[in-house]
Amino acid sequence: QIQLVQSGVEVKKPGASVNVSCKASGYTFTSYGISWLRQAPGQGLEWMGWIRVSDVYTIYAQRLQGRITMTTDTSTNTAYVELTSLTSDDTAVYYCARRGTMDAFDHWGQGTVVTVSS
């Protein structure tokens, strides 16, 4: 079955960077894109960007431009997101999600809690 398994809890200080991974299985990794999304405590979903695995074409949310980088490793079927210059506003659960052929997010990772605190 299709699974997206994310890395574990992260606690970071303001100004630091965080790197979250998402290992895919159960489908052909290079045939789909991966999006990253996040959800601040008690808030809604925020789309962070998308990477097309086949050619690593990326689109990032405008408000995160300059601080975010998405990459993939096709040898391990793993996607990564790095976010730099963290502030308390970046405290959230971070999700990876597969962008399916129907242009919706049809499979999601379990989420990674990222806390930014001094």
Partner 1 sequence: SYELTQPPSVSVSPGQTASITCSGDRLGDKYASWYHQKPGQSPVLVIYHDNKRPSGIPERFSGSNSGNTATLTISGTQAMDEADYFCQAWDSSTAVFGGGTKLTVL
Q: How many angstroms separate the Cα of 16 from the Cα of each of 2, 5, 67, 73, 117?
A: 33, 24, 11, 23, 10
45 belongs to the binding site for partner 1 (CB under 8 A): yes
Eight-state DSSP code of residue 65: T
102 belongs to the binding site for partner 1 (CB under 8 A): yes
Determine the residue type at 35: S
Q: Which of 18, 20, 29, 35 binds partner 1 (CB under 8 A)?
A: 35
Q: How far is the CB of 50 from partner 1 (least distance, A)?
A: 7
Q: Which of 19, 76, 110, 117 binds partner 1 (CB under 8 A)?
A: 110
